[in-house]
Amino acid sequence: MAIHPVEFRYGTPEMKAIWEAENKLQRMLDVEAALARAEGELGIIPEEAAAEIARKASTEFVTPERVNEIERETKHDIASIVKALAEQCEGDAGEYVHFGATSNDIVDTSNSLLLRESIGVLRDKLVEVLRVLLKLADENRDLVCMGRTHGQHALPTTYGMKFALWADEIHRQIERLDACRKRLCVGMMTGAVGTTAALGEDGLEVHERVSEILGLEPVLISNQVVQRDNHAEFMMVLANIATTLDKIALEIRNLQRTEIMEVGEKFDPEKQVGSSTMPHKMNPITAERICGIARVIRSYVVAALENNPLWHERDLTNSSSERIILPEACILTDYILKLTLDVLNNLVFYPENIKRNFELTGGLIMAERLMAELTRRGMGRQTAYAAVRQCAIEANRKGMNLKDVVLERQDIMEHITEDDLEEIMNPETYIGSALRIVQRVLEESENWL
């Protein structure tokens, strides 16, 4: 019976396939095969033995069932794989399996292969999210909306600005992932304490050749493990990505509030149910799921950081937690990337509410513009600020429109006309360089993609 939600509720088939037990076993067998090939080429083991080991290093021959059967006796996963592979090899080839290696050479190098695959999937989805955000920025570059700071109405902005801002951040996350991959996905075949002693003078050549066969950079130095600052960095990159997605989803959730309702998730009233008791509910459940899972992904950072300080050349405390956090972090990050794509590709806009929300403060949101215009027309900046602030306080206290209060102020109106005031109070014409800023992002994105 399935227990963990990753088994039945969360995750995509492509990412789950990477971390599925048989694929993990195959990647460890790939490392054993690369080791045998390297040793055969260098004359450390017979070439025919190396060829036989490489041929049998497949889950077609070394099955998860047999490995598990052996592990129940040995209590050691890598020793079980070595024995299962050796017993499949013909002749005396099995005698040469795993020569000169320690268990973590296999574990860390195979994890690099799994993480490389995972990063490929994650990167593809990040690029998809980036493309969708750039498209939304382009399509909505001049859709003026209410900007909010501290949860309060501030000044007009555009939806083009919102989407372009997120696109720029996603681009930085792609850069971080790329930079992290170079340090994380490395090969290691350096033996029990990192000295390659069991392989003698050929140790470094074997280490480098194994990595070359697997398409990895050989780690420059290790002890018994690839140092876990690399894995901690990866986990922090995933947490950072998750937090960006959390930010996007949180803004969409806020904008879908009943009293705001400017944009929101698509809801299918013919099929979808919002609540088991309230028939009217249409909840932003996908965005909420993104925010909730992002919290779990961020929590893995602590374990990843604590996996770096190990006793002396190595202990086993990192192993058990990494069996959990590496696959889960990859699977869950990939999953919320998919959810983000679902939300963004089906985003619903409510233009009438966007326009309505401009009017909620009775023109108070245009106070800054009025103050700036008065300063340009000869009133001192401090004087203009004080005068407009007095008008704003009065309008707010009396429930009046700011424009009507200003019209009664002779000290203000001697600097502007009623027609000027009408234009000043139009929020759709007070967006500064927003259009140019979005255009700059769109132009720069051609280099990103």
Pick the CATH number of 103-125+153-267+279-349 from 1.20.200.10, 2.40.10.220, 3.50.50.60, 3.40.50.150: 1.20.200.10
Residue 283 has a pLDDT of: 81
Mean pLDDT value of segment 380-386: 94
pLDDT at position 269, please? 72
Reported as a single tens digit per residue, the pLDDT across 342-374 is: 999 999 999 999 999 999 999 999 999 999 999
Listed in sequence order, the residues at least 6 apart from 445 whose beta carbon sits closer than 8 Å to its beta carbon are: 130, 134, 167, 171
Residue with tokens 């420059």: 220
Q: In this predicted model, which residue has the larger pLDDT, 53 or 273?
A: 53
Rounded to whole angstroms, the Cα distance separating 324 from 320 reads 7
* pLDDT of 256 higher than 60: yes
* pLDDT for the residue numbered 266: 82
Which pLDDT score, from 0 to 100, does residue 408 have? 93
331-341: pLDDT as tens digits: 999 999 999 99
pLDDT at position 26 over 70? yes
SS (H, E, C) the chain: CCCCHHHHCCCCHHHHHHHCHHHHHHHHHHHHHHHHHHHHHCCCCCHHHHHHHHHHCCCCCCCHHHHHHHHHHHCCHHHHHHHHHHCCCCCCHHHHCCCCCCHHHHHHHHHHHHHHHHHHHHHHHHHHHHHHHHHHHHHCCCCEEEEEECCEEEEEEEHHHHHHHHHHHHHHHHHHHHHHHHHHCEECCCCCCCCCHHHHHHHHHHHHHHHHHHCCEECCCCCCCCCCHHHHHHHHHHHHHHHHHHHHHHHHHHHCCCCCCCEECCCCCCCCCCCCCCCCCCCCHHHHHHHHHHHHHHHHHHHHHHCCCCCCCCCCHHHHHHHHHHHHHHHHHHHHHHHHHHHHHCCEECHHHHHHHHCCCCCHHHHHHHHHHHHHCCCCHHHHHHHHHHHHHHHHHHCCCHHHHHHCCHHHHCCCCHHHHHHHCCHHHCCCCHHHHHHHHHHHHHHHC
150 is catalytic: yes
Answer whether 118's CB lies under 8 Å from 24's CB: no
Residues of the chain with CATH 1.20.200.10: 103-125+153-267+279-349
- Residues forming CATH 1.10.40.30 domain(s) in the chain: 361-429
Catalytic status, residue 207? no
User: Residue 59's pLDDT is what?
Assistant: 98
Is the predicted pLDDT of residue 437 greater than 90, yes or no?
yes
Among 4, 76, 275, 320, the one annotated catalytic: 275
| Residues 375-380, mean pLDDT to the nearest whole number | 93
What residues does CATH 1.10.275.10 cover in the chain?
5-96
Q: What is the mean pLDDT of residues 253-275?
A: 84
The mean pLDDT of 16-44, rounded to a whole number, is 98
Mean pLDDT (the chain, rounded): 95
pLDDT tens, position by position, 83-111 = 999 999 999 999 999 999 999 999 999 99
- Residue 140 CA: distances (Å) to CA of 108, 134, 346, 347, 431: 46, 10, 15, 12, 13
- Band (127; pLDDT cuts 50, 70, 90): very high
**Hey, what CATH class is 361-429 in?**
mainly alpha
Percent pLDDT > 70 in the chain is 98
68-81 residue pLDDT tens: 999 999 999 999 99
The two three-digit tokens of residue 344, written as one number: 């963004």
Average pLDDT over residues 31-57: 98
Q: How would residue 227 be classed by pLDDT, with cut points 50, 70 and 90? A: very high
Active-site hit among 4, 76, 103, 150: 150
What is the per-residue pLDDT across 270-325, written as a single tens digit (0 to 9) for each?
777 765 556 676 788 999 999 999 999 999 999 999 999 999 999 999 999 999 99
162 pLDDT higher than 80:
yes
For domain 5-96, give the fold.
Fumarase C; Chain B, domain 1 (1.10.275)
